[in-house]
Structure 1
């Protein structure tokens, strides 16, 4: 996507931070799933908020990157290539989750959202400051309007139902499209921000975050199967870990 632009460090670093936090969250989920630890991931105050922070980072940085990549006009072949990769990855996640969790498989997770939201965001890329208002509006809409109609399986992706979908990863269009548009607004601002364009210091932790940010999709697809294999081994091959 986009014209010839230099790649800024801080979006990659923030994306890398999101990946790192995601691995922490999924490690907690797997430890709980295999009964190594007893964690209340659904009803505690911390873990649901932690998950929303991770999603906000992912979606917000996606909006920033989309704005930066389109400032000289979209390169449509590259845009469609990225969409195809995301769509194939989303399909892989759905298939794998259905095999493991057939009653709560991922039908509209973060990758599914990225496919649809990136496409829907294209007309918004040149709206300038209006994206702040529209982003806030989309963000607030599910707070004051819900309807049982959107509880139906074919409409849960919208995010306006009054019942939370039973799925392992749920990133409905609303309110997250609002976060994406706010990210687009930030991306438009940093185009002319000289401080934002400075490279980050190449400290070891920064290098690690940059690497994770630049390889976020591959890490996203591979980390959970690897983590599950490790924690399965801890709970079954080394039973003393769980005290069984």
Structure 2
């Protein structure tokens, strides 16, 4: 059966379909590229304007959109024959622990711009909130679009308070290395759920992927995305710190 192997929003086997894992793997690969650029800039190995240029912020948002959209697709696939609740809550607990580790680690390294609500925090919260939407069918399309646009209409300084910034409706955001608020990204997850629920009507989507030589790499990254997410940045920063130290005798900005 095509949908007999459900899983969680981040990593692991989604189903016998390969392309959700491939898309997630692509998101992981692009994340590695982005964080490599960030670290190279941080240690003065390259001079990049990551905050104010047009390309890099758009590139980062595209990566998050891939992660969140595939998470919605994965939830829809997992719900084809009913959610496996034990697996769902086990993965939810893993996401929560991982999010706390990311917050603690980022605070230790960047205390003035630590991650208080990044992509893992979002995934943990949004995965639970998304469960009631799994049976709404086509309604997830207009609801998703509405939630994507909502922050542009309802943004208000009231939501600038630190304890409300996770909602994404404020006008000012605290300095943070990764900010993935509930809105507009929950709308993207609902769009992913809509796509996942429509797969049975897409014959091309049900076919095996072409056996490109790089496909196994993407599939591996997609199936191990959470582990790669947690480990890649400490390893990259250690590597580029070593290179910068050997080349310039510097330890970064």
CA contact (8 A) 1:36 1:241 kept: no
* Of 144-153 and 50-59, the range deviating more from structure 2: 144-153
2:220 aligned residue: 211
1:222 aligned residue: 231
Q: CA deviation at 1:8?
A: 1.0
| Count of aligned residue pairs for this structure pair | 240
Q: CA deviation at 1:145?
A: 1.4
* Of 4-13 and 139-148, the range deviating more from structure 2: 4-13
Alignment match of 2:66 (pick from 41, 57, 62): 57
For residues 46-69 of structure 1, what are the alpha-carbon distances to aligned partners after superposition, in whole Å with 9 as ceiling and x for unaligned? 000000100000000000000000
2:97 aligned residue: 88
Q: CA deviation at 1:194?
A: 2.9
Q: CA deviation at 1:144?
A: 1.4
C-alpha distance in 2 between matches for 1:103 and 1:85: 26
1:190 aligned residue: 199
CA contact (8 A) 2:4 2:16 kept: no
1:36 aligned residue: 45
Alignment match of 1:115 (pick from 114, 124, 128): 124
Alignment match of 2:178 (pick from 166, 169, 175): 169
Q: CA deviation at 1:240?
A: 8.1
1:4 aligned residue: 4
Question: Unpaired segments of 5 or more residues in structure 1?
Answer: none
Residue 70 (structure 1) aligned with residue 101 (structure 2):
no
1:27 aligned residue: 36
Q: CA deviation at 1:73?
A: 1.0
C-alpha distance in 2 between matches for 1:192 and 1:207: 26
C-alpha distance in 2 between matches for 1:101 and 1:232: 15
Residue 152 (structure 1) aligned with residue 161 (structure 2):
yes
Residue 138 (structure 1) aligned with residue 147 (structure 2):
yes
TM-score normalised over the length of structure 1: 0.95
For residues 135-172 of structure 1, what are the alpha-carbon distances to aligned partners after superposition, in whole Å with 9 as ceiling and x for unaligned? 01100000111111111110110000001331000000
Residue 124 (structure 1) aligned with residue 157 (structure 2):
no
Q: CA deviation at 1:241?
A: 10
Q: CA deviation at 1:196?
A: 1.1
Residue 16 (structure 1) aligned with residue 13 (structure 2):
no
Give the CA RMSD over aligned residues.
1.5
Question: Unpaired segments of 5 or more residues in structure 2?
Answer: 6-14
CA contact (8 A) 2:43 2:250 kept: no
* Of 184-193 and 90-99, the range deviating more from structure 2: 184-193
C-alpha distance in 1 between matches for 2:87 and 2:201: 24
C-alpha distance in 2 between matches for 1:219 and 1:93: 13
C-alpha distance in 2 between matches for 1:192 and 1:208: 28
C-alpha distance in 2 between matches for 1:153 and 1:124: 28
